[in-house]
Amino acid sequence: MHEGSPFVPRQLKDERAGMRPSAAALVGLVDTEEEAFPHVAAILRQMGDAGVELDAVAVSIAIKMGRHTHMLESRKRHSQPERQGIVYYVRRGELIKIGTTRNPIKRFNALMPDEILAFEPGGSALEAQRHGQFGDSRLTPRSEYFRPSESLKAHIEAVRAKYGPPNPDWPSVKTIRRGYRRTRQPVVLPEPGTEHVTATEGAKVLRMNRATVQGWVHRKLISPVGQDAKGRPVYCLGQLRFLIERNRAWQNHRKVTG
């Protein structure tokens, strides 16, 4: 570090002759070429301003703190795509869902896909682009579920190769063994009742996401019992209530057992 550098605290300098000779060895402990140097210099300046005696021990502490701060900021930068949002590709039964989220752990914990296939940084605009890109495989014009066409599978492989495999901490049936055993257990629904609702109506009554009902249908956990006057499929409200209460009970169990 050269004489008069702005990164040299006042305690290491002599106002009349620049850097004190006794401080040269201390300054030599600081590697100005390492990436953490700006953080180290800032901490040294703060320590000096606070009246801390800048001896070898203090400089060593500043170096450790600066490196730690640099490491934390580096991790924060690397996780930025996830905080800003991702477009995800997950498998539910034989279908692939393309969606977006800013909180993958919370989203996948609620969705509980069979497998998380890939992800890429992006939000609703990129999600809409992907929905249009694979429109030929889309179940319905407004659905987020797609048949696993060759083009879609190739795209998922390319995304995975570019951005790496999904975070293993993101919950799915494949990564959570308890969830895997649970989904392999047969689901015995109660007998159909007389109260029938569309997916939208059922979701509103039971305070759940309409996509959850669609997921149950795609995974063959539940089937329509008829159609309403507009030709929309209707489901037994009692069976929907059974499934959502079953899911919520399982989530509460997981929170308790960890």
69 vs 77: CA distance, rounded Å: 12
φ, ψ dihedrals at 239, nearest 5°: -70, -40
**The pLDDT value given to residue 13:** 56
**pLDDT, tens only, 165-208:** 998 888 887 766 444 344 445 667 778 788 999 989 988 998 88
64 vs 44: CA distance, rounded Å: 11
Does 1.10.1660.10 match the CATH number of domain 186-258? Answer: yes
pLDDT at 136 over 80: yes
Residue 73 pLDDT class (50, 70, 90 cuts): confident
Mean pLDDT, the chain, whole residue set: 79
| Most distant CA pair in the chain, distance | 94
**The pLDDT value given to residue 207:** 87
Residue 132 pLDDT class (50, 70, 90 cuts): very high
Residue 134 pLDDT class (50, 70, 90 cuts): very high
Annotate 47-112 with DSSP letters as a single string: HHHTT----HHHHHHHHHHHHHHHHHHHHHHHTHHHHH-EEEEEEETTEEEEEEES-HHHHHHHH-
**The pLDDT value given to residue 82:** 44
Residue 99 pLDDT class (50, 70, 90 cuts): very high
Residue 11 pLDDT class (50, 70, 90 cuts): low
Helix (H, G, I), strand (E, B) or coil at 225: coil
Higher pLDDT, 100 or 106: 100
pLDDT at 210 over 50: yes
**The pLDDT value given to residue 186:** 60
Q: Which of 65-69, 115-119, 213-217 is predicted with the least confidence, judged by mean pLDDT?
A: 213-217
**pLDDT, tens only, 38-63:** 888 888 888 878 888 878 888 888 88
Q: What is the pTM of this model?
A: 0.44
For 57-64, the CB contacts below 8 A with 24+ separation are: 59/26, 59/29, 59/30, 60/29, 63/29, 63/30, 63/36
Domain-by-domain residue ranges, the chain? Answer: 10-78, 83-178, 186-258
